[in-house]
Structure 1
Amino acid sequence: MSSLSSKTSGKRMSGQRASSFQLKSGDKLIKDAKPKQKFKTKGAALVVSEKDKNYRSNVKKEKPKYSQDATRKFNVMLHGDLKDLPPLPKTMVKIFLSSTFSDMRAERNTLVREAYPHLRDYCASVGLDFQVVDMRWGVTEDSINDHSVEKLCLLEVANCQKTSVGPNFVVLSGDRYGFRPIPVELNVKTFERLRYEAAKLNLENRQLLEEWYKLDENAVPNMYMLQPIRSKYTFFADFSPGCEEPRIKDTADWWNTFEALQNILRKSADSAFNDGKMTAEEKHQYFLSVTECEIQDGILKALDVDKHCLVYKRRFKILSDASLQLKDIPRFIDVIKTDKVVIYCTELT
């Protein structure tokens, strides 16, 4: 009894246990089984071995690649320059309607009544908005006062070109050239040249140049700026009650001043051109109409004009001498009056 217990206790002490299942050295339970990767853990954090650390440090993360042009535009935008922003998705047909006003009044009104509703419905059927920019309704008194009508028109032309998915510029052309403004800005060299030519020609009212054009030293480069109309004619375009009489007077005085300034600038520019001090293109800026400026930006300087621009030319079939004497004919045809003759300009383009 004592000998049996001592044998059993001896086996337990040595940790040996008899078993009927024996594995030989080198045998595997699962064929081609790979041992699991062993990681040492400390708490809930994974402890990576030094070998893994070295491997990961040698693998460089590939930096994302960006378009150099897009990066440049983004950096410029961060500095406050918003001129070269990428185009937005186009979801509308937006058309700038260009024409002289008084002679195309009936055509413009007919488009509003009969054409635009159909175009708006068609665009809506294909998921697009339809808009027309008609500057008869977009010119405010303030824009007339500070001479910004031409700039506003050209900004609208550019806006239509950027946002319209289809046509963006339509011209109704007749026999009138349109309103011709005087320059709003003149660089210092040009202004001094014009002032010199006006003095050389001894032009009447040439002092108006210095009265209406003032040097803006805050502009870079410095520019001579045409002053607002109300800086001298307070009641111009003032429709407040009780201002009718001074408004009529100031309005008439301004247009007389405008014609005098226009005459001085044109004669001075023509003299500078004849002396070889001004190019033909620079001279033309003093004879240019707003309508021509719109056509230059909307068609002549534009891309893919066949896809985006339309021109409708109106021609009168019969113009007799009797019809040219009608009092309303200057509404439709440019008329040049002199002391001896009246010239009807019927082939302006």
Structure 2
Amino acid sequence: MEDELVYRGRFDGIEDRKLNSTRLFFSSTFTDTTDERNGLIEHVYPRLREYCLNEYNIQFQYSDMRWGIQSKASNTHATVHMCLKELDNCCRLSMATNCVILLSHRYGSRFAPACIPSRIFQHLLSKTEDKTLLTEINGMNQKKKLQIILRKAADRCCEQNLITKDERDEFHISVTAQEIYRALSNNKHKPRRILCFFRELTDIDELGSKFHDNEDKAESKQLLIDIKNLLKESIDSSEIYTYKLQWKDENDRKKYLSKFFDDFYQAVKLQIDFHMKQNKSKQGNVLHNQIVEHAIQCNSLVQRFFPRPEVFEQIKTYITSSINYPCVLLGKSGTGKSSIMAKLVNEIPSWYSQVNNVSLIVRFLGATPSSSDIRRPLISIIDQICMIYHLNIPSHFDNVKEIFENILIRIPKDENLILLLDSIDQLQTVDLIDLSKWLPEKFPLSSSNVKYGLQEIEIKPFDENTAQEVLHSWLKQDRRCLTAIQHEWLKPKFTQQHKIDPLFLSLLYDQTLTWHSYDEIPDKTFSDIQLTGDAIDYLYDQLCMKHGEILFRRSMIYLQLSGGLSEVEIEDILSLDDDVLQSVFVHYLPPRELFRLPSNLWIRIRNDMHKYLVEKDIDNVPCVYL
């Protein structure tokens, strides 16, 4: 039933990214697990990468958030957000295991939240007016003072039922614990996605400070016990591994590490085998995979869609009428044509009284290797029509246009089929010169010739008022707000241009996501933005500061020069660039035998650039294009 809905153009259950990898997030405290982390990078992850590629032709990626986080992230309290965001991506996009947890005797570092909902903040503020909160914090550094104040205020708010216990716990919880709670929540209905490893050191009292929590030791110890008990209750016992050893005993430690690495590899491998077996039936279905690729593109495009009622009313009038010649959406690049086409997939069924009798077929031409010329998309469309209406699939496709016309005639009279083709201009030149060579001249309703009439609907850029409305809708969607002075920074961008295209507005909005409520001085470079090209340059500058200038700019240059690379190829090329490696290893030195760019660094860049990158499958290998 689910597949039938996909064939009919119902894409609600499909993500906005193709699942083509096992993406594993490794969660543990930092200072006391260096040996395990380094050993995994050196000995285990390469084996899993090779296994996934050879056995299932999928990628294996890992995220170890200890690697490469710039000081800028720590200074803005962004570390926790970055870790949780990457964990969410792994849970959403991994085909198998998505989180592995390693716990020993530390509960982990606890940071003040980077963002506090305004309702909670107002309650906290009312409690910090009590000066007794400040009596215990003299002599502490500013960060520690802030944490103490927030925790005490949260405790008092919770006692008075102003905030919930879960909201109170946000100010006491460690980074590792937040990752664990998030992983359990994300996988609530997804079995066999998490693995857990417990390490018990019998000589823990003889070990240095890096193996212990250094703040609120009694509370941290109890919180660690609670989180371990939760994991034992939530995860099947077969996927929990426990080790007991003396850390100072070198032989004991070596045996443990060897056993840990072997168990880790076998446990992840078992989960990969389990899930790939579940997906095997769909992997061989070429048509289903093609439809899913376009569905992913569709769902990605509608995430930031803003209603354009005047355009949709014209389209609705055309689609629900008896007109039987094609309709063309016209507009300059960046005006949102593709987003409109994607949104139509969701909207069109509601225009009919018999929703179940409406099918939509959408193809984003040029977005996949199989859609760069018109012949292959037409064959795919014919196959899909046959699947929807249970027709016999033609045995050959010598004359695709004729077969297409005959198939259309065979569609049941009580059914409605809407065909959406986006980016006609992306077709090969030979297919563009004369559309009548492949576009049917006869439709089921009459013998109208498409050469004699095309309905055109022009897609125009936003005016100033619409641009403001779009900005406010996006802010509301993300539960954010800007200060009055920050709105003033944006106003000139809307008045400098008579018309604002969605791409320009999207670039501006993405920059507001980095602003804080206490930012009062505008960035001069941002103030100088006038055109889309300026906004792109500014985006690059900001991402350079976040990821490192050398790493980010070289990544973009290699993508441009190559015309598209797989993620493994990107990592390999960056790992051969000495300037890139030198810039990365300033933040963390890798295992001695593995001087290589951590996969996590490219993944973070791709996540930030996702909406501006194109992903295509070449020989079943996903390749990224800029």
After TM superposition, the score normalised by the length of structure 2 is 0.32
What is the distance in 2 between the residues matched to 1:101 and 1:111? 14
CA distance in 2, matches of 1:163, 1:104: 26
Alignment equivalent of 1:309, drawn from 194, 201, 206: 194
- In structure 2, runs of 5+ residues without a counterpart are 1-6, 229-626
In the aligned structure 1, how far is the partner of 2:47 from the partner of 2:166? 42
Match of 2:71 among 141, 163, 166: 141
Which runs of structure 1 show a deviation greater than 4 angstroms over 4 or more consecutive aligned residues? 205-208, 335-338
1:324 is matched with: 205
Q: Relative to 1, partners in 2 of residues 1:336 and 1:86: Cα closer, same or farther, differing over 3 Å?
A: closer
Residue of structure 1 in register with 2:59 after alignment? 129
Match of 2:158 in 1: 273
String of CA shifts for 1:210-259, please: whole Å, max 9, x gaps: xxxxxxxxxxxxxxxxxxxxxxxxxxxxxxxxxxxxxxxxxxx9x81111
Do the aligned partners of residues 257 and 172 (structure 1) sit closer, same or farther apart at CA in structure 2, a change above 3 Å counting?
Answer: same
Relative to 1, partners in 2 of residues 1:155 and 1:280: Cα closer, same or farther, differing over 3 Å? same
Q: Measured at CA, do residues 282 and 88 of structure 1 come closer, stay the same or move farther in structure 2, by a change above 3 Å? A: closer
Q: Which amino acid aligns with 1:124?
A: L
Task: Quickly say closer, same or farther: Cα 1:114–1:87, change in 2 above 3 A.
Answer: same
Within-5 A mapping of 1:206-225: none
Match of 1:263 in 2: 148
Secondary structure at 2:150's aligned position in 1?
helix
Note the C-alpha offset of 1:98.
0.6
2:130 to 200, 217, 224: 200
Equivalence for 1:24: none
Distance 1:268 1:310 in 2: 36
User: Does the C-alpha gap of structure 1 residues 111 and 201 become closer, same or farther in structure 2, counting only changes over 3 Å?
Assistant: same
Q: Which of 1 and 2 has higher RCO (CA within 8 Å, sep 6+)? A: 1
2:51 aligned with 1:109: no
- Where 2:132 maps in the other structure, the secondary structure is coil
Q: 2:108, 2:175 within 8 Å by CA — same for their partners in 1?
A: yes
Inter-CA distance 138–159: structure 2 relative to 1 (3 Å threshold): farther
Shift in Å, 1:116: 1.5
Pick aligned residue for 1:291 from 169, 176, 192: 176
Q: Does 1:190 align with 2:120?
A: yes
The one-letter amino acid of 2:149's match is: I
Deviation at 1:182?
A: 0.8
Q: 1:138 to 1:302 in 2, by over 3 A?
A: farther
Cα shift at 1:277: 1.9
Q: Distance in 1 between matches of 2:126 and 2:47?
A: 57
Which residue in 1 is equivalent to 2:29? Answer: 100
1:147–1:184 CA contact under 8 A, matched in 2: yes
* Structure 1 residue matching 2:108: 3-state secondary structure: coil
Q: CA deviation at 1:275?
A: 2.0
| 1:89 and 2:18 aligned | yes
Query: Which digits, 9 at most, give the CA deviation of each residue in 1:7-27, with x for residues without a partner?
Result: xxxxxxxxxxxxxxxxxxxxx
Tell me the alpha carbon deviations over residues 191-211 of structure 1, each in whole angstroms, 9 at most, x when there is no partner. 222122122353228999xxx
Name 1:163's counterpart in structure 2: 93
Deviation of the 1:303 alpha carbon: 3.8
Task: Report the equivalent of 2:503.
Answer: none
Deviations 1:78-113 (A, max 9, x none): xxxxxx973443222110111111011111111112
| Aligned: 1:334 with 2:213 | yes
User: Map of 1:57-76 to 2, 5 A cutoff?
Assistant: 66-67=8-9, 69-70=10-11
Quote the Cα distance in structure 2 between the aligned partners of 1:90 and 1:111: 24
Higher helix share: 2
Amino acid paired to 1:185: C
CA distance in 2, matches of 1:203, 1:289: 22
Residue 85 to residue 177, structure 1, CA distance change in 2 (3 Å): same
Q: How far apart are the structure 1 equivalents of 2:92 and 2:149? A: 38
Tell me, yes or no, if the aligned pair for 1:178 and 1:291 is still in contact at 8 Å: yes
Residues 184, 173 of structure 1: alpha-carbon distance in 2 compared, 3 angstrom cutoff: same
Q: For the Cα contact (< 8 Å) 2:21–2:60, is it kept in 1? A: yes
Q: Output the aligned Cα RMSD.
A: 3.2
CA deviation profile, 1:15-51 (whole Å, cap 9, x unmatched): xxxxxxxxxxxxxxxxxxxxxxxxxxxxxxxxxxxxx
Residue aligned with 2:48, SS: helix
Following superposition, the deviation at residue 184 of structure 1 comes to 1.8
1:120 partner letter: R
- Provide the residue aligned with 2:105 in structure 1: 175
* CA distance in 2 between partners of 1:265 and 1:312 (Å): 32
1:302–1:181 CA distance, 2 compared to 1 (3 A): same
Q: Residue 137 of structure 2 contacts residue 145 of structure 2 at CA under 8 Å; is this kept in 1?
A: no
Q: Provide closer, same or farther for how the CA distance between residues 187 and 120 of structure 1 changes in structure 2, counting only shifts above 3 A.
A: closer
In 2, distance between residues paired with 1:201 and 1:276? 21
C-alpha distance in 1 between matches for 2:216 and 2:196: 30
Counterpart of 1:286 in 2: which secondary structure? coil
Contact kept, 8 Å, 1:167 with 1:309, in 2: the verdict is yes
Which of 120, 127, 139 is 2:49 aligned to?
Answer: 120
Find the counterpart in structure 1 of residue 591 from structure 2.
none
Percent identity between matched residues is: 29
Structure showing greater Rg: 1
CA distance in 2, matches of 1:165, 1:196: 47
Q: Which sections of structure 1, spanning at least 5 residues, go unmatched?
A: 1-64, 74-83, 209-252
Q: Give me the TM-score of the superposition, normalised by structure 1.
A: 0.55
